[in-house]
Chains A and B, each alone.
Chain A
Amino acid sequence: MGKTKTIDPAVVQKKLSVLEPQLERLQQQAEEETDLKKKLKLGRQADRMRDKIRQAKTGERFSRQAKRDLVAYSFIAPNFIGFAVFTLGPVIFAFVLAFLKWDGNNAMEFAGLNNFALMVGNKRFLAALRNTVIYCVATVPFTLAVALALAVLLNQKIKGRNFFRTVSFFPYVASLVAVAAVWNMLFSPAKSGPVNMILYNLGMAAKSLPKWSADKNWVMFTVVFFSVWKNMGYYMVIYLAGLQGINGELYEACGLDGANTWQRFWYITLPQLRPTTFFVTIILTINCFKVYDIVYMLAGGNTGVLNESAIVLVYHIYEEAFRNWNLGYASAVAMVLFLMVLAITLVQFRGEKKYSA
């Protein structure tokens, strides 16, 4: 890399006559600039210019900065190439595909907004949209409350704290297929299902026993209940991290004022956790929009086909793309999903500014 070519003084002089005034101008600008960020930026530009001048004088093929750039690129390349090909490319393709008609074999045709028009009249799409929203609205506050309560409890100095933390987190990492299989048995709609058996023994009439995921009025409830149980451990850990960031002096001051446990929670813990709650709400909502496998396994039965009482958006994308090969339409539905997630993300960006200010 350090090869030098023969240096022609005239050429060097010519280069320097262009570069040196530029450097001077940058230095002057940097001195006059009052904004610290801009000043730093100008300083960096000046460094680069000095580097170029040095390069012109010595006649090296690569400047120091170029060498540094190459090293940096070599660090990024292994991940970035994979990422660009298998994520970035498809993401861009997805936006284009939403406006095309394609079955995967024949040539693509431009469809304009036709895919979106088809959605409005599609009963399954409307049911999927409705169910996804219902699922979110029910799951988010429920999970949030349980996760917060759990985190506050497990932040106390108690015996076996680590055990309790591990136990509440384990459902989150446990395989969904396995756990859903147990739930399907525990909540078996037949009278013999353990949960129904307990309800029966508590005095509930055999007729009024809920059919859980087999009943179109109960299926969403069962799914929500399951996902709160499965995922709350994760959000609890985020809350725990938030709780550990609260300044202990606040509690001490509050204790001197004679506040009781409840007041301490209400006037210190909760307000101090606002940014965490905000973050958890956003992540949770986005994850709820993406729900698919929980519903598929609890309500899909043996065939894995969801009816209109349980269908969700991602399932609709899946069935349209990989069963009916309406790839354009499926991508248009995916755009609806994306817009919902984007809206939430934008709220997050605004919120983050608010909390960091």
Chain B
Amino acid sequence: MKIQNTKTKTLRVILYAVLIALALVMLVPFAWMLSASFKLDKDVFIFPIEWIPKNPRWQNYVDIWSKIPLMTFVLNTVKLTLIVTFLQLLTSSFAAYAFAKLDFKGKDLLFLAYIATIAVPWQVYMVPQFMMMRSMGLADTHLAIIFLQAFSAFGVFMMKQFYEGIPTELCEAARIDGMTEYQIWYKIMLPLSKPSLSTLTIFTFVNTWNDFLGPLIYLTTESKKTLQLGLRMFISQFGSEYGLIMAASVLSLIPVLIVFLSLQKYFVEGVAASGVKG
């Protein structure tokens, strides 16, 4: 019995050692980013690495705003992300309700259209999509980015999976009580679908916030560019201003970090519901 105990103890120690090593691997790049963002360019590569700079250079976080039109980029990205996330959540949960709980003509055919395109990566049709948007006069507009992101088949699919898990009796009871379908959706389904709405929010928010190829193709005017494009532009123009690049990178991570941390408790649940079964 005693041997067993020491053995489990050693296992525990190894387990924690491995986990801490892994956490370090995951975190070191971010720690280095944060540390470098407070340094002068010439100090960034000093070895051994100085994790906590002796004279933190807060000036980097001031200079970055005037070096590039960062405020414009941030506002553009915030605007696009909020609109896309809102539209995505609203329209997909709306459509998913009909697919999961209503019976109507052409249901299978309409749903087939969604499924068929889920297997087609965006990269396959990005060229004709761009030509179509251009012919509509949408090239170099934010509207194009919104249309691009807001109506994904993925969202409908995910919400439908979730709604199917909610007992249909709930809807029927509400119908007998005289609720319209719209009221059922708003008063019963929406409040129940917090986990999947949170997951969809994380996915959509993160995807739109971090999207690179879409804005790269569509947005050419500098004042319309997003944070990711602006950051990339800054990196290729001022490749050796390490401190500033890192400061801008840290800033671009903050919103994602906030959204992720505030919604993550639903996340494993949501991925489980949408991922494995889908």
**Residues of A near any B CB (own CB < 8 A):** 44, 65, 68-69, 71-73, 75-76, 78-80, 82-91, 93-94, 97, 104, 150, 153-154, 156, 158, 163-171, 173-179, 181-183, 185-186, 188, 192-194, 197, 201, 229, 233-234, 237-238, 240-242, 244-245, 261, 275-276, 279, 283, 286, 289-290, 292-293, 296-297, 302-304, 314, 317-318, 321-322, 327, 330-331, 334-335, 337-338, 341-342, 345
Return the CB mask of B33-50 against A: 1 if under 8 Å, else 0: 100100000001101010
Contact (A338, B276) CB under 8 Å given A78-B94, A175-B228, A175-B249:
no
Would you mind naming 13 contact pairs between A and B with Cβ atoms under 8 Å apart?
A71-B102, A78-B91, A80-B110, A86-B148, A87-B129, A173-B202, A173-B210, A177-B249, A179-B29, A186-B29, A302-B239, A321-B130, A337-B124
Instruction: Tell me which residues across on chain B come within 8 A of A97, comparing CB atoms.
Output: 127-128
Q: Which listed residue, A93, A158, A290, touches B19 by the CB 8 Å rule?
A: A158
| B99 in contact (CB, < 8 A) | yes
Of the listed stretches B55-63, B64-72, B165-173, B267-275, name the one at the interface; the rest are far from the partner chain.
B267-275
Kindly provide the distance from the CB of B30 to the nearest chain A CB, expressed in whole angstroms: 8
Per the 8 Å Cβ criterion, residues 20-35 of B in contact with A are 22-23, 25-27, 29-30, 32-33
Complex CA distance for A87 and B119, rounded to whole angstroms: 12
Asked if B95 and A175 make an inter-chain contact with CB atoms under 8 angstroms apart, the answer reads no
User: Which residue of B is nearest A349, CB measured?
Assistant: B119
Closest 4 CB pairs of A and B: A241-B272, A82-B151, A178-B249, A75-B98
User: Which residue of B is nearest A275, CB measured?
Assistant: B276
Return the CB mask of B120-149 against A: 1 if under 8 Å, else 0: 110111111111111000000000000110
Instruction: Tell me which residues across on chain A come within 8 A of B253, comparing CB atoms.
Output: 174-175, 178
Instruction: Tell me which residues across on chain A come within 8 A of B16, comparing CB atoms.
Output: 158
User: Which residue of B is nearest A287, CB measured?
Assistant: B121
| B235 in contact (CB, < 8 A) | yes
| B90 in contact (CB, < 8 A) | yes
Contact (A181, B246) CB under 8 Å given A78-B90, A194-B32:
yes
Instruction: Tell me which residues across on chain A come within 8 A of B174, comparing CB atoms.
Output: none
Asked if A334 and B32 make an inter-chain contact with CB atoms under 8 angstroms apart, the answer reads no
Contact (A238, B276) CB under 8 Å given A94-B128, A156-B15:
yes
Asked if A167 and B23 make an inter-chain contact with CB atoms under 8 angstroms apart, the answer reads yes
Asked if A83 and B114 make an inter-chain contact with CB atoms under 8 angstroms apart, the answer reads yes
| B117 in contact (CB, < 8 A) | yes
Q: What is the total of A-B residue contacts with beta carbons within 8 Å?
A: 278
Asked if B125 and A178 make an inter-chain contact with CB atoms under 8 angstroms apart, the answer reads no
Kindly provide the distance from the CB of A295 to the nearest chain B CB, expressed in whole angstroms: 12
Complex CA distance for A186 and B267, rounded to whole angstroms: 31
Q: Which listed residue, A76, A192, A244, A321, touches B99 by the CB 8 Å rule?
A: A76
Given contacts A72-B104, A337-B124, 11 further A-B contacts (CB under 8 A): A75-B98, A83-B114, A83-B152, A91-B125, A156-B15, A168-B22, A171-B26, A229-B25, A238-B275, A297-B232, A317-B123
